Chain A
Amino acid sequence: MKGGFLTSGYGPILIVVAALAILPFGFSANTTLNFLGFVLIVTLAAQGWNLLAGYGGQFSFGHAAFFGMGAYGIALAQVRFGLNPWLALPLAIALGALTGTILGYLSFRARLRGSYFALVTLAFAEVFRILANASAFTGGAAGVLIPLRIDAANFQFADKRSFYWLALSFVAFVLLLTHWIARSRFGAYLVAVRENEDAARALGVDALAVKLKAITLSGGITAAAGCLYAQKFLYIDANLAFGPWISVEALLAPIIGGIGTVFGPLAGAVLLLGLGEVTKTFFTWLLGGAVPGIDLVVFGVLLILCVAFAPRGVLGVLRRIVPAFRGGRP
């Protein structure tokens, strides 16, 4: 609450979003816009993870379950039922949220915590992946192709900047939502459950209800990222939608950026994917050919280094050494 407009409250969110919004006027290259659009999709997925794990302390290893529900939800609604994608979008988000509620109810009711919860979420994501890969309804191993009909009314944009701004508006909404939640009563309950669930329960916090609310929101947000992914690439299969890659990136971005902070997922996604591109380019230049997986090796090293030396992520380090960041703790 203390500190100026720049270091607390909604000010920094508005400034960051405004800066990101004018970015496409600086770059016109399609590859840059594609990359930035992808960064925003990962950010959105990571924001969902951060709400549940960063604020609520429930570490999920299987956010692909929600991402995939969003992606398959919006794709199948169009291909199988002929729905308009704008109409399918809220339905797919609701599907992700519902998946979150069910998954949360099953595992929290069984009092699964810590590593057990991580394993159960991972197993759910794998079950969905195998089912989507085997079922004829989801297109099996061939995946789902969304027919190309470029029209804003059809959620397909001729101008790549339109998609970027749309994704940015999702990310901006979740930034505001996270900030609001962090200061709400619900946010306080959530942090109390993270810090000490038994103590929170003893003080009258309904831990099950709080965790269920968090995983529902989390599932919906990450499903929205899946919807954007499907509409951006117009093709999904089981390994893209339910694969481990998105579970890992949704968890890496907040941890590297700053877990349990409003800006952590965004900062982490920019840094992570930026570093990934740099690594890939460097090794291609060094060895004269693409080296698959080398960017992920760097991510793994970064994850261990962050856990070991920067538990509050890059933003935490910045806050320690740059006075301007020190004021507010969003």
Chain B
Amino acid sequence: MLKLDIFLSALANGLLTGAVYALIALGLTLIYGVLHIINFAHGATLTLAMFAVFVAHQAFGLDPYIAVFILTPLFFVLGYALQRAVITPASHGDDGNILLVTLGVSIIIENALLAIFRSDTRSIDVPYGFSVMEVGTLFLSTPKVIAFVATLAVAGLLWLLLARSDTGKAIRAVAKEKTGAALCGIDVAHIYAVTFGIGTACLAIAACLLMPTFLVNPRVGNAFVLVAFTIVVLGGMGSIGGALAGGLIIGVVESLSGLYFGESLGQIGIFLIFLVVLLFRPTGLFGAKA
């Protein structure tokens, strides 16, 4: 009985953490699906967003759940500008160059944060940080449940945006056939930057949802970036449903292998999944095109 309780609680916690992983992966997979580039700066941008939440809380006393409404548009603009002013002009449209430029961006962000905030690990102190809610026999961390629900809401909104709005239609058109889209009068450079902006905005939301329960230091993004890549690869590059499912699976795998094999090997499980999927089934579990 006790065994089952521990198992169920690990499972539930895995699902809750996995939802935030999914949100991070959602931004990555959207950028990949439309621009066909791997944004190596995704993890560093998440770190930047987490520090932005930290500063908003320390300097202005803003609660993360309020800061989200300021930071999300701010990071959309940041992503838009980054793609349009740095990544596109610097990479000359070459795949390898884009990888190198985004690597350069991630090195700059990570080390600028290190120079400013030093390597100390920081957290914010919110009154509900440790509050729990009882669901059946399980005790779940309230901020994590909020993050889970918010992620599902964001994924729903994103789907609505892509399926219903004109911008969404343009994004899907560019993803499928950019030359054709350009011939129809769609401003491809603008749509690319908008997509990059949306992907970056997802990180601001993820950061606001993470900060009540997570710690931040300048290298924290590294822990998330390979997890996010694993999810994207697992779910199929560019697939939003795949990212959501992949995130939940990875969260559960991490939680359960942490339970049975200890913390450090929980991470190994993720990398092994990543390698096995890439090496043996690069189209992902759900068979989206690679």
Q: From A128, which residue of chain B is reached at the shortest CB distance?
A: B271
Within 8 A of B (CB), among A126-141: 126-127, 130-131, 133-134
Alpha-carbon distance A118/B96, docked complex (angstroms): 10
Q: In whole Å, how far is B236's beta carbon from the nearest beta carbon of chain A?
A: 13
Within the complex, the shortest CB–CB distance from A6 to chain B, in Å, comes to: 32
Inter-chain contact B38/A130, CB cutoff 8 Å: no
A290 to chain B, nearest CB (A): 10
Interfacial chain A residues near B37, Cβ < 8 Å: 115
Closest CB of chain A to B3's CB: distance in Å?
26
A291 within 8 A of B: yes
User: Considering the chains assembled together, what is the distance between the CA atoms of A112 and B275 in angstroms?
Assistant: 11
- Residues of chain A contacted by B86 (CB below 8 angstroms): 304
Residue B140 CB within 8 A of the other chain: no
B289 CB to closest chain A CB (Å) equals: 14
A244 at the B interface (CB under 8 A): yes
Chain A residues contacting B288 (CB-CB under 8 Å) are none
Once the chains bind, are B104 and A120 in contact (CB under 8 Å)?
no
Counting chain B CB atoms within 10 Å of each CB, the highest count among A114, A293, A301 belongs to: A293
- In the assembled complex, which residues on chain B have CB atoms less than 8 Å from the CB atom of A78? none
Q: Does A10 contact B (CB under 8 A)?
A: no
Contact with B280, one of A110, A114, A294 (Cβ below 8 angstroms): A110
B110 touches A293 (CB 8 A): yes
Chain A CB within 8 A of B101 CB: yes
Contact A123-B226, Cβ < 8 Å, known A300-B104, A300-B105, A303-B103: yes
Would you call B148 an interface residue if the criterion is a C-beta within 8 Å of the partner chain's C-beta atoms?
no
Complex Cα distance, B96 from A235, in Å, reads 35
The reply to whether A294 and B104 contact each other, CB–CB distance below 8 Å, is: no
Given A59-B99, A115-B38, A308-B90, check contact A106 B279 (CB 8 Å). Answer: yes
Residue of A114, A118, A297 touching B107 (CB-CB under 8 A): A297
B123 sits at the interface (CB 8 A): no
- A116 neighbours in B (Cβ, 8 Å): 278, 282
Is residue B27 contacting chain A, with contact meaning CB distance below 8 A? no
A308 in contact with B229 (CB, 8 Å)? no
B257 at the binding interface (Cβ < 8 Å): no
- Rounded to whole Å, the gap between the CB of B108 and the closest CB of chain A is 4
Is B182's beta carbon under 8 Å from chain A? no
Tell whether, in the assembled complex, residue B110 and residue A307 are in contact, meaning their CB atoms are under 8 Å apart: no
A176 at the interface (CB under 8 A from B): no
Residue B264 is within 8 A (CB to CB) of chain A in the complex:
yes
Residues of A within 8 A of B99 (CB): 59, 114-115, 118
CB neighbours (8 Å) of B111 from chain A are 292-294, 296-297, 300
**B76-120 interface code vs A (CB 8 A; 1 in, 0 out):** 000000000010011110011101110111111011111100110
Looking at the assembled complex, report how far the CB atom of B82 sits from the nearest CB atom of chain A, in whole angstroms. Answer: 11
Q: How far is the CB of B235 from chain A (nearest CB, A)?
A: 15
Given contacts A112-B278, A244-B222, A308-B90, contact A292 B268 (CB under 8 A): no
- A172 at the binding interface (Cβ < 8 Å): no
Say if the beta carbon of B218 comes within 8 Å of chain A: yes
Main secondary structure of the interface of A (DSSP, over half): helix
Q: How far is the CB of B288 from chain A (nearest CB, A)?
A: 15
Cβ–Cβ contact A294 & B115, under 8 A: yes
Report the minimal beta-carbon distance from A153 to chain B, rounded to whole angstroms: 39
Q: Closest residue to B38 on the A side, CB-wise?
A: A115
Q: Is the CB of A307 within 8 A of B97?
A: yes
Contact, CB under 8 Å: B95 / A114: yes
B282 in contact with A301 (CB, 8 Å)? no
B97 contacts A123, C-beta separation under 8 Å: no
A133-B264, A293-B110, A293-B111 as given contacts; A114 in contact with B96, CB under 8 Å: yes
CB pair A304–B115 under 8 Å, yes or no, is: no
Shortest distance from the beta carbon of B271 to any chain A beta carbon, whole Å = 5
A122-B229 Cα distance, complex, nearest whole Å: 11
Query: Which chain A residues lie closer than 8 Å to B105 at the CB level?
Result: 300, 304
Q: Does A107 contact B (CB under 8 A)?
A: yes
**Which residues of A are found within 8 Å of B104, using beta-carbon distances?**
300-301, 303-304, 307
CB-defined interface of B246-276 with A at 8 Å, one 1/0 digit per residue?
A: 0000000000000000001101100110110
Residue among B92, B97, B112, B265 making CB contact with A297, cutoff 8 Å: B112
10 residue pairs, one from A and one from B, having the closest CB atoms: A293-B111, A300-B107, A293-B114, A300-B108, A308-B90, A303-B104, A296-B111, A304-B104, A115-B38, A300-B104
Which B residues are within 8 Å of any A CB, using their own CB? 37-38, 86, 89-92, 95-97, 99-101, 103-108, 110-115, 118-119, 218, 222, 226, 229, 233, 264-265, 267-268, 271-272, 274-275, 278-280, 282
Show 21 A/B contacts (Cβ-Cβ < 8 Å), sorted by A: A59-B100, A110-B278, A110-B282, A115-B95, A119-B233, A122-B226, A123-B271, A123-B275, A127-B268, A127-B271, A127-B275, A134-B265, A244-B222, A292-B118, A293-B113, A297-B107, A297-B115, A303-B103, A307-B91, A308-B91, A311-B97
Chain A interface residues (CB < 8 Å from chain B)? 57, 59, 61, 106-107, 110, 112, 114-116, 118-120, 122-124, 126-127, 130-131, 133-134, 244, 248, 251, 255, 291-294, 296-297, 299-301, 303-304, 307-308, 311
Given contacts A118-B99, A303-B100, A308-B101, 18 further A-B contacts (CB under 8 A): A59-B99, A61-B103, A107-B279, A110-B280, A118-B38, A119-B233, A123-B275, A130-B264, A134-B264, A255-B100, A292-B111, A292-B115, A307-B97, A307-B100, A308-B89, A308-B90, A308-B92, A311-B97
